[in-house]
Amino acid sequence: MKVIDLINKNKKTAFSYEILPPLKGTGIDKIYQAIEDLKEFDPQYINITTHRSEYVYKDLGNGLFQRDKLRRRPGTVAVAAAIQNKYNIKVVPHLLCSGFTREETEYVLLDLQFLGITDLLVLRGDKAKHESVFTPEENGYRHAIELQEQINQFNKGIFVDGSEMKVTATPFSYGVACYPERHEEAPNLDSDIYWLRQKVEAGAEYAVTQLFYDNKKYVEFVEKVRKEGIDIPIIPGIKPFKRLAHLSMLPKTFRTDLPEELTKEVLKCKTDKEVQQVGIEWCVAQCKELMAYGVPSIHFYSVAAVDSIREIAKIIY
């Protein structure tokens, strides 16, 4: 069953979350532990993020630096397959333009097809850390919609060089990203919604939002996209607030406004343990309100927050 079917068949709000592949050399056990911790809440699917390679500079000690290309978190496809095999839970690897050529993407699609993994989240991906603006790979893509087009062609049995597959298999289905508070590069929300609509017309079956803390922003966004004729599920992406440092990090990294009420409560806290409790309470209230609004699914960003999500899920599911 595809993600969209799982969401549609679920009578209650579906539970899903995103995990990151382990840092190179740290092993997969932490991921299995996170899945064990959240298993009882019946996740309908688990997303696995993808991370492009970055340049790192090694000081050679003689006034020279050596530039190396490094992927800190490789292994998305393998982690997805390992989870699917071990837990029989649907997995949704992220597919990126960022850092990948068309041919590399094609090999990833072939690997996924052989593994029977046919749900994807299709994204442009973050820019490289050394870039001020996103730069596609030579023979890569600038926008998620171009990647969608490659997948659509692949689904029809056509490779990037125009040659045809001898055997076709289950087509890939996919969702895309959306931004209730506008993507950082969009000149305005209308423009962002215009491109979301193009992504839907190109085949996106649902969209997952960037994290947000103010439900009003989500509801206004959903109403706006509905007016534009976009009728796919808009799945709220939620991350429990956890540390005092999040006060500056979250708005800067994810372009989200923190509501004054949340900020005031966080500023009263003396320790991160207290902040975590405030974050849990905020998130429970936020999720309950979203459920009452009728969201089909809530997607949790779990990085460094599995313990909070467990507490939240115990209350809301």
CA distances from 89 to 17, 35, 112, 165, 182 (A): 12, 10, 15, 29, 32
Nearest to ligand FAD of 96, 278 (CB atom) = 96
We find the least distance from the C-beta atom of residue 73 to ligand FAD, in angstroms, to be 9
258: how many CB neighbours lie within 10 A of its CB? 18
Closest CB 298 distance from ligand FAD, rounded Å? 12
φ/ψ of 94, rounded to 5, equals -90, 135
Q: Of the two residues 124 and 275, which places its CB atom closer to ligand FAD in the complex?
A: 124
The amino acid present at 298, given as its one-letter code, is: I
Task: Return the number of the residue (32 or 195) whose C-beta is nearest ligand FAD.
Answer: 195
CB of 188 to ligand FAD, least distance (A): 10
- Nearer to ligand FAD (CB atom), residue 207 or residue 275: 207
- Least distance from C-beta 219 to ligand FAD, angstroms? 18
CA distance readout (Å), 314 to 47, 262, 276, 286: 21, 22, 16, 15
- Residue in 111, 83, 82 with CA at minimum distance from that of residue 95: 111
Nearest-approach distance from CB 14 to ligand FAD, in angstroms: 15
**70 versus 315: smaller Cβ distance to ligand FAD:** 70
What is the closest distance, in whole angstroms, from the C-beta atom of residue 63 to ligand FAD in the complex?
A: 34
Residue closer to ligand FAD (CB basis): 146 or 220:
146
Closer CB to ligand FAD, 50 or 105, in the complex: 50
Amino acid at 37: D
Minimum Å gap between C-beta 112 and ligand FAD is 15
Determine contact, residues 19/76, Cβ cutoff 8 Å: no
What whole-number distance in Å separates Cα of residue 317 and Cα of residue 315?
6
Instruction: Enumerate the H helices of the chain as residue ranges.
Output: 3-9, 29-38, 76-87, 102-115, 144-155, 189-201, 215-227, 246-254, 260-267, 272-293, 306-316
* Site residues, ligand FAD (CB under 6 A): 49-50, 94, 96, 98, 121, 123-126, 143-145, 177, 183, 185-186, 191-192, 195, 208, 210, 237
Q: Which residue in 88, 4, 79 sits closest to 43, CA to CA?
A: 88
